[in-house]
Amino acid sequence: MIATQAMREVYLQTIPQRPYCTNHLGRRLRIIDAARAAGFANIQHNMPLVWHWLVFDIDGEDAYTRAETRGCPPPNFIALNPANGHGHAGYLLESAVTAFDTSSRRAIKFFEDVERGMTNRLGADHAYPGFLSKNPLCSRWETDWQAVRPYRLETLNDYLDKTDKRKKLAREMSAVGRNATLFEQLSKWAYRHWFRTAKEGRTRDEFECMLHELAEAINATFPVRLSHAEISGVTQSVARWVWKKFTLEGFAKIQRARALKRWAASPTLTAMRPWIEQGISRRTWERRRQRTVSP
Q: Which fold has domain 176-246?
A: Endonuclease III; domain 1 (1.10.340)
- Contact by Cβ (8 Å): 19, 31: yes
Render pLDDT for 163-179 as a digit per residue (tens, 0 to 9).
998 876 545 667 777 88
Instruction: Give me the mean pLDDT over the 16-35 stretch.
Output: 91
- Cα(221)–Cα(35) distance, rounded to whole angstroms? 36
| pLDDT surpassing 80 at residue 9 | yes
Residue-wise pLDDT tens digits, 192-224: 887 788 778 888 888 888 888 888 888 887 877
- Position 227, amino acid: S
Return mean pLDDT, the chain.
85
**pLDDT value at position 230?**
83
How do residues 220-271 score in pLDDT, each as one tens digit?
878 778 888 888 888 888 888 888 877 656 555 656 665 666 555 555 555 5
C-alpha–C-alpha distance, residues 243 and 61, integer Å = 49
pLDDT number for residue 19: 94
184 vs 269 pLDDT, higher one: 184
With 90 as the cut, is the pLDDT of residue 140 above it?
A: yes
**Predicted model pTM:** 0.72
Pairing of strands 20-22, 30-31: antiparallel
Taking only Cα atoms into account, the Rg of the chain, rounded to an integer number of angstroms, comes to 27
SS3 118: helix
pLDDT of residue 25: 85
Q: Which part of the chain is CATH 1.10.340.50?
A: 176-246
Residue 175 — φ and ψ, nearest 5°? Answer: -60, -40
Note whether 239 and 208 are within 8 A (CB). yes
